[in-house]
């Protein structure tokens, strides 16, 4: 049964009393200082202290979540401003001496006893002898003294060192419905904020706020568009999501730590039709050529990969060099215009350049069009001290994205919807 109206307000009352006690200490110290320097004492102190206790209890009875400590401070220190000019020096000394040597010790005792009696780890524990007698007379019962008191949780950060008080940050971050929906959209393609706002049917300002939360959590990245610097593209970091998700499972139980899956090779007698993938960029000289070569190697015979550009030019020598270091020779390949593939069906068309996305042609069939907003390594290498490192980073990012793409391709090939 609750206390004061069916609701257990004892935790808030304890803090109301604590606020009263702290305010009394402050009043006593101020009064003692006034006595020591012989100043006139505020006679309203006599009425302030009892009024503080009554008002703090009343506030607790009305609002269990009221900040009793603040109420006690305000109601005690407030009347101290009521100065009575008729208080003489001798009267001020006597009253100040009484408050300093009586009120301060009593307040400290009240505060210490209240906090010790109502420990946050086992809130308001009943005497053990009474608990044992009650349990023996009534049989098996739920011990209310061992339940976590919700009011206590409002004032204390932790309940017990053996209890996990919060889920992993990844689950807190992705558990919001809108943030989960945004991540889901970004797994399909890099997007601008206005596109995401239209997809989730929410205000652009609200979408920007949640994207900022995902960026702060390291799950989403943002880069300015190479076509228009006023625009920005948001990308999901799938590798970071996979790592954080594995950590979240391991935090609950070691056996739940996820292990990244590898695409399964096709079984004999169940040969699947090869997925056709087209990579597009402006010059078809670096990004799209590298992506084509990486997918051909990683996908084996399951994927047919080609590449093209809107304004083709010769292969960049650093692209050839970086791919050769990875065991792939693209030196004999040529750049192609995307008109060469006009009218051909593709399962996936992926643009790697922000400019070519604006002029990407339409393709027949159930083509899944996606955009990977990646900076032009040739442009960055021209301004960098180590152009080779720039192309190496591009190859690494393409490899990561393509490995996740292979999971999508396999899922579509094996699921009824993709068949």
Give the closest residue to 376 by CA, choosing from 360, 363, 387. 387
Which is higher by pLDDT, 328 or 256? 328
Paired tokens of 109: 């005792």
Domain count within the chain: 3
Facing residues of 368 across strands?
348
In order, the DSSP letters of 349-360 are EEE-SHHHHHTP
- For residue 265, tell me if it sits in a domain: no
Question: Residue 198 and residue 176: Cα distance in Å, rounded?
Answer: 18
Contact between residue 235 and residue 190 where contact means Cβ atoms under 8 Å apart: yes
User: pLDDT tens digits, residue range 127-173?
Assistant: 455 445 454 555 545 444 444 444 444 444 444 445 567 889 999 99
Helix axes of 193-200 and 204-216: crossing angle, nearest 10 degrees: 110
Are the beta carbons of 174 and 180 closer than 8 angstroms? yes
On whether both 243 and 318 belong to a single domain, the answer is no
Verify that 69 and 14 share a domain, yes or no: yes
Q: Which residues are paired to 145 by β-bridges? A: none
What are phi and psi for residue 369, nearest 5 degrees?
A: -100, 130
Q: Which pLDDT belongs to residue 104?
A: 56
Residue with tokens 């808030």: 12
Are the C-beta atoms of 239 and 400 separated by less than 8 Å?
Answer: yes
Rounded to whole angstroms, what are the CA distances from 194 to 34, 204, 258? 65, 6, 34
Which of the listed residues 84, 102, 117 is the one where a domain comes to its end?
A: 117
- pTM for the model: 0.61
Model pLDDT for residues 80-114, shown as the tens digit of each residue? 443 333 444 555 555 555 555 565 566 566 556 55
Separation of alpha carbons 394 and 384, rounded Å: 14
Q: Please check the confidence at residue 258 and state whether its pLDDT lies above 70.
A: yes
Of the chain, the percentage scoring pLDDT greater than 70 comes to: 58
| 329/325 Cα distance (integer angstroms) | 9
Q: Clarify whether residues 285 and 228 are in a common domain.
A: no
- Provide the edge-to-edge strand list for the sheet that holds 348-351: 303-309, 275-281, 348-351, 368-371
pLDDT of residue 84: 36
Residue ending a domain, choose from 117, 150, 182: 117
Residues spanned by the domain of 376: 275-414
pLDDT in tens, 180-201: 999 999 999 999 999 999 999 9
| Same domain? 229 vs 296 | no
Distance CA 35, CA 337 (A): 94
Half-sphere exposure of 152 (CA within 13 A, CB side): 18
143 is catalytic: no
Same domain, residue pair 209 and 303: no
312 and 401 in a common domain: yes
Same domain, 224 and 336: no
Over residues 278-300, mean pLDDT = 95
Hey, CA dihedral for 242, 243, 248, 254, is it positive or negative?
A: positive
- CA–CA dist 142, 271 (Å, integer): 61
Residues 45 and 107 in one domain: yes
CATH of the domain at 305: 3.40.50.2300
Longest dimension (CA), the chain: 108
**Does residue 245 share a domain with residue 286?**
no
Burial (0-12, 13-18, 19+ Cβ within 10 Å), 69: buried
Catalytic residue among 207, 281, 308, 356: 281
User: Cα 18 to chain center, whole Å?
Assistant: 35
Task: Answer yes or no: do 286 and 408 share one domain.
Answer: yes
Q: Is 357 found in the same domain as 324?
A: yes
Examine the pLDDT at 333 and tell me if it is beyond 90: yes
CATH number at residue 198: 1.10.10.10
Q: Which of 194, 31, 33 is nearest to 102 (CA)?
A: 31
Q: Does the pLDDT at position 312 exceed 50? A: yes
Identify the band that residue 267 occupies on the pLDDT scale cut at 50, 70 and 90: low
- The answer to the question of residue 150 being in a domain is no
In a domain, 390, yes or no: yes
What is the per-residue pLDDT for 278?
97
Q: Where are the beta strands (DSSP E) in 249-302?
A: 275-281
* Catalytic-role residue among 290, 308, 349, 353: 353
* 323 assigned to some structural domain: yes
Q: Is 296 a member of any domain?
A: yes
306 has pLDDT over 50: yes
* Sign of the alpha-carbon dihedral angle for 261, 263, 264, 270: positive
Q: Identify whether 70 is part of a domain.
A: yes
Q: How far is CA 359 from the centre of its chain?
A: 37
Q: What is the pLDDT of residues 376-406, one digit of tens each?
A: 999 999 888 899 999 999 999 999 999 999 9
Find out whether 313 and 341 touch, Cβ atoms under 8 Å: no
Same domain, 214 and 293: no
Q: How much is the pLDDT for 238? A: 96
Boundary-marking domain end, from 226, 256, 286: 256
């Amino acid at each position: 049964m609750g206390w004061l109206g069916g609701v257990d307000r004892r935790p808030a009352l304890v803090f109301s009393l604590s606020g009263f006690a702290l305010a009394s200490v402050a009043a006593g110290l101020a009064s003692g200082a006034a006595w020591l320097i012989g100043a006139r004492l505020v006679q309203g102190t006599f009425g302030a202290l009892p009024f503080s206790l009554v008002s703090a209890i009343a506030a607790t009875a009305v609002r269990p979540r009221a900040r009793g400590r603040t109420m006690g401070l305000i109601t005690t220190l407030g009347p101290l401003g009521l100065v009575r000019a008729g208080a003489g020096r001798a009267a001020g000394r006597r009253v100040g001496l009484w408050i300093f040597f009586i009120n301060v010790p009593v307040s400290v005792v009240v505060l210490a006893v209240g906090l010790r009696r109502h420990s946050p780890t086992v809130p308001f524990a009943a005497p053990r002898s009474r608990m044992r007698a009650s349990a023996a007379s009534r049989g098996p019962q739920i011990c209310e003294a061992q339940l976590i008191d919700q009011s206590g949780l409002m004032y204390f950060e932790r309940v017990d060192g053996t209890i996990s008080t919060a889920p992993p940050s990844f689950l807190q971050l992705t558990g919001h419905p809108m943030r989960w929906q945004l991540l889901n959209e970004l797994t399909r393609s890099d997007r601008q904020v206005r596109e995401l706002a239209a997809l989730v049917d929410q205000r652009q300002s609200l979408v920007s706020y949640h994207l900022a939360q995902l960026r702060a959590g390291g799950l989403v990245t943002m880069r300015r568009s190479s076509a228009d610097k006023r625009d920005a593209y948001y990308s999901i970091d799938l590798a970071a999501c996979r790592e954080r998700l594995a950590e979240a499972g391991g935090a609950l139980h070691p056996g739940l730590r996820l292990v990244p899956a590898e695409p399964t090779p096709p079984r004999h007698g169940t040969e699947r039709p090869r997925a056709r993938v087209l990579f597009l960029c402006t010059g078809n000289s670096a990004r799209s050529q590298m992506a084509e070569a990486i997918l051909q190697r990683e996908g084996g015979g399951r994927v047919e990969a080609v590449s093209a550009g809107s304004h083709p030019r010769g292969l960049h020598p650093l692209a050839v060099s970086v791919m050769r270091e990875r065991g792939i020779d693209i030196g004999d390949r040529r750049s192609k215009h995307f008109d060469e593939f006009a009218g051909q069906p593709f399962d996936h068309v992926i643009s790697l350049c922000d400019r070519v996305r604006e002029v990407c042609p339409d393709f027949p069939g159930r083509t899944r069009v996606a955009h990977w907003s990646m900076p032009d390594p040739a442009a960055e290498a021209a301004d960098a001290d180590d152009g080779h490192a720039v192309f190496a980073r591009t190859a690494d990012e393409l490899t990561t994205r393509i490995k996740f793409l292979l999971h999508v391709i396999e899922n579509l090939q094996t699921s009824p919807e993709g068949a």
